[in-house]
Structure 1
Amino acid sequence: MELHVVIKGRKDLAEQLYQQLRTAIESGRLAAGAQLPPSRLLAEQLGVSRKTVSDTYASLTYEGLLIGKIGRGTFVNAWATRAEHVQRAADLACADTLAKWQALPSLLGHPNQDARPRQDFIGGATTRSQFPQDEWRRCTQDALRRIAQSSGFYSQPEGLPALRSAIAGHVAFSRGVKCRDEDIVVTNGAQQALDLIARVVLEPGSIVAMEDPGYTPARLMFEAMGATVMGVPVDEQGLLVDLIPDGTRLIYVTPSHQFPLGMPMSLSRREALLTRAVTLGAIVIEDDYDSEFRYEGRPTDSLQSMDTRGVVAYVGTFSKTLLPELRLGYTVLPPAIFAAVVKAKQLSDQHSSTLPQWALAKFISEGYLLKHIRRCHTVYAGRRERILARLAGDLSPWFEVVPTVAGFHMTALCKVAVNIPLLVELARKVDVGLYPLSAFFHEAPVREGLMIGFGAIETLDIDPALDKVRDILLHIG
């Protein structure tokens, strides 16, 4: 690869070369440690004498910007001082907009492996030890062969037909969703599905109604688009539908496993929600993020399966059944917004990567996904029972559990006054990760407690971790 230097005319050749190399080094375009071409090669590239290049290298070396290493060549000196002449955020016309984005809190992000506590009750993370590496490797190899035989053109924005067909069969079987392949758009995780639907439904000032407490990243995203987000309280039956304000365009709910509290929405509330949405002309986003894992009672219908008027956009993800890093999600869209969402997807990123799409299509069609879900279900059920036993036992003086029958997190509400921030801080010092419930409240009065995830923590770590939590609670009173 040739070094990008432009020489104009035949005058001041050494000065032109000197200034361009110095600017490239000081701006950081030539990074510390980068090797420059040998003087002979650069001279041939630029059509100048080798002496011109050698003299320029010598001048920059004398100034400490370059360093020569015998037998190896000429390199940018790691000690070189680079002058920063970049525009500050405060100097830009968009300074206020940048400040709003920078002020957004970073919630629910998973820490890197080195920063994670060893015994971590984080939500939304899966059991890595159960991931079917061999099966996924075979599916990925098949995907690579398919891509090698492809045309080399961009793919469809709505996703590969093979994956859309596999998803349609999976959600019909596991969740009773009524859909055809043509109703599905494959996305980069559920978060992109939420983003695309909101883009085509909302305008600045539009009203969004969502559960309070609720999924904070969704609220922040809607607000970032300029929407007015109204928190709607929940009770033991779910969203209080009567409190959805007039003028609402978009309603965001988690009816199968309310996030973060965990209870399912009752049948009467689901029916009332659909009626209210039709009256408002609103679209309902049903975020069904982890309901494949059910431990008690009969399965409940998805909200989408009850929808006869085409107002529910069903959003699912494989981050909770496979791995979050795969960033694979989907949405089953009502006809009225399908074409608009596909256009938004195409403008956003053209299409999701086809390599994991092909791999996932084969993974589902070969039955590997259902087998994996069953294996994980057994593991999660055991962890859930262990945590419930402890919360009903020696931790019962401080916490009570919100009844939940699905997913792989639960909520423990405080029965007495507990200094949750202090508990979280002290638990972290003994390598236990705890997560406060308060982060998910918007307008509703905060109820203190913990969201306890059991997807990532190993079963044998649960009791030792909760022993530490109990000891801390006894210590802080």
Structure 2
Amino acid sequence: MELHITLHGRKELADQLYRQLRDGIDSGRLAAGTQLPPTRLLAEQLGVSRKTVAEAYSRLTYDNLLSGQVGRGTFVTPQPPAPAASAPDTPLAGADTLARWRARGIPMGRPTLAQPSRYDFVGGASSKAHFPFDTWRQCSQHALRQCQRTDTRYSNAQGLHELREAIARHIAFARGVRCTAADVQVCNGAQQALDLIARVLIEPGCSVAMEDPGYPPAKYLFEALGARVRHVPVDREGIRVDLIEDGVRLIYVTPSHQFPLGMPMSLERRHALLARAAALGALIIEDDYDSEFRYAARPTDALQSLDRNGLVAYVGTFSKTVLPELRLGYAILPPALQEPVCIAKRLSDWHTSTLSQWTLARFIDEGHLVRHVRRSHALYAARRERILQRLEADLGQWFEAIPTSAGYHLSALAKGELDVEEVIAQAREKEVGLYSLRPFHTEAAPKPGLLLGFGAIELLDIDPALDRLRETLHALS
């Protein structure tokens, strides 16, 4: 790779080269430790004499910007950090729009702590210690061989056919979803699936209904696209269908494991929601983010499997069952959305990484995903059971668990006048990471309580962590 230098004319070439190299070093474009080309090679690339390059290098060495190492070459010398560049004086025409984006912040970002919590009940995180990395590496090797055999053109925006087949078989087996490979859209995580569906349906000023409390990234996404988000309260059976307003174009729900409270939507409420959507002509997004981990004897059907009118887009992710860094998710789309969403995907990022798709397809087809889910289920079930036992025993005077049958987080509502935010702050002093339900409420009165994730905390750490919570609660009482 050639060093980018632009020389003009045939005069003062050594000065031009010196100034450009110095500017590159001062600006950080040529970082400390960067090796510069040998004088002969750079002279040939620039079409100048070797003496010209040597003179520029010599001046930079004299200024302590370059240093020569015998037998190795010429390198950029480490420099003191440059002062931060000041903001440009010319205001941007879109400054107000940028300010609104900055005001949103990063939804559901973990707090920045000087010291990470020793015991962390963060939600949405799984335990990497139990993931079969060796098996994944073998699948990755297969994926590399597949990529080597194919041409270098871009892949299908809808997703690799082999992966879509594997996804269709997997969710039909695990969740009873009715689909074929033609209905599957592969995405970069569930969040992109939400974005693509919303992008082809939402216009500025249209109405979108979603649960309150609910999933903040979905809310901010819909608002960013110009929608008016209607926050619909939930009860023990799920979203209050009778409070969904007329004129709603899109309804976003988490029926199998309501986020963040955790209760499943009842069968009667599911049928009512489908009927209301049919009356409105509204599409339902069913976010089934972690319901492959189920603890009830009789699992509930996916909302999509009850749909007979093509009104449900089912969204799933492998961030919970495989690895969050993988950023692979999918949507099972009704026929009306399949072509528009595929076009939006192509305009957005052309297609999801083919190498990752081949790897995941192999991982599913060889049965590794099912085995990993089963092993993880046993781990999560034991952790969940231990937390519930403690909430019913020595922590019962302060908290009451909300019944839940899926996922790897549960919520516990505070009893009495307990100051949950103070409990969280004091627990962090004892190295216990706890999370409040308050940020997930918008218009509904906040339910004081905790969201307790058990995907990333080991079973043997639960009792010591909850012992420290109990000590904190006694101290505050």
TM-score category by the smaller chain? over 0.9
One-letter identity of the residue aligned with 1:92: L
Residue 377 of structure 1, CA deviation = 1.3
Q: Distance in 1 between matches of 2:44 and 2:155?
A: 43
Matches within 5 A, 1:311-326: 311-326=311-326
One-letter identity of the residue aligned with 2:351: H
Aligned to 2:269: 269
Aligned to 2:208: 208
Match of 2:104, SS state, is coil
One-letter identity of the residue aligned with 2:328: L
Structure 1, unpaired ranges of 5+: none
One-letter identity of the residue aligned with 1:131: F
Contact 1:155/1:354, CA 8 A, preserved across alignment: yes
Q: Distance in 2 between matches of 1:349 and 1:341?
A: 12
Q: Distance in 1 between matches of 2:112 and 2:330?
A: 26
Aligned to 2:348: 348
Does residue 295 of structure 1 match 2:295?
A: yes
Residue 90 of structure 1, CA deviation = 7.2
Q: Distance in 2 between matches of 1:409 and 1:280?
A: 33
Judge which range, 12-21 or 461-470, deviates more: 12-21
Residue 408 of structure 1, CA deviation = 0.9
Contact 1:27/1:84, CA 8 A, preserved across alignment: no
Residues 213-270 of structure 1 deviation map (CA, whole Å, 9 limit, x = unaligned): 0011111111122211111100011101111122211110000110000111112211
Matches within 5 A, 1:249-264: 249-264=249-264
Q: Distance in 2 between matches of 1:229 and 1:242?
A: 17
Matches within 5 A, 1:173-322: 173-322=173-322
Cα gap change, 1:38 to 1:362, in 2 (>3 Å) = closer
Cα gap change, 1:422 to 1:404, in 2 (>3 Å) = same
Q: How many residues align?
A: 477
Residues 436-461 of structure 1 deviation map (CA, whole Å, 9 limit, x = unaligned): 11111111111111000111100000
One-letter identity of the residue aligned with 2:247: G
One-letter identity of the residue aligned with 1:449: G
Q: Distance in 2 between matches of 1:247 and 1:304?
A: 22
Cα gap change, 1:114 to 1:140, in 2 (>3 Å) = farther
Residue 195 of structure 1, CA deviation = 0.7
One-letter identity of the residue aligned with 1:331: A
Aligned to 2:399: 399
Does residue 362 of structure 1 match 2:365?
A: no
Residue 366 of structure 1, CA deviation = 1.8
Q: Distance in 1 between matches of 2:371 and 2:300?
A: 21
Matches within 5 A, 1:408-427: 408-427=408-427
Aligned to 1:54: 54
Structure 2, unpaired ranges of 5+: none
Residue 275 of structure 1, CA deviation = 1.4
Match of 1:32, SS state, is coil
Contact 2:211/2:232, CA 8 A, preserved across alignment: yes
Cα gap change, 1:146 to 1:253, in 2 (>3 Å) = same
Cα gap change, 1:366 to 1:74, in 2 (>3 Å) = closer
> Which 4+ residue blocks in structure 1 deviate beyond 6 angstroms?
111-114
Residue 360 of structure 1, CA deviation = 1.6
One-letter identity of the residue aligned with 2:425: E
Residue 327 of structure 1, CA deviation = 1.2
Residue 164 of structure 1, CA deviation = 0.8
**Aligned sequence identity (%):** 60
Q: Distance in 1 between matches of 2:373 and 2:215?
A: 24
Contact 1:89/1:98, CA 8 A, preserved across alignment: no
Residue 11 of structure 1, CA deviation = 1.8
Aligned to 1:438: 438
Residues 262-288 of structure 1 deviation map (CA, whole Å, 9 limit, x = unaligned): 111112211111111122221110001
Aligned to 1:454: 454
Contact 1:118/1:432, CA 8 A, preserved across alignment: yes
Contact 2:207/2:247, CA 8 A, preserved across alignment: yes
Cα gap change, 1:89 to 1:402, in 2 (>3 Å) = farther
Contact 1:26/1:83, CA 8 A, preserved across alignment: no
Residues 61-92 of structure 1 deviation map (CA, whole Å, 9 limit, x = unaligned): 44444344555443333226757667549732
Aligned to 1:43: 43
Contact 2:414/2:420, CA 8 A, preserved across alignment: no
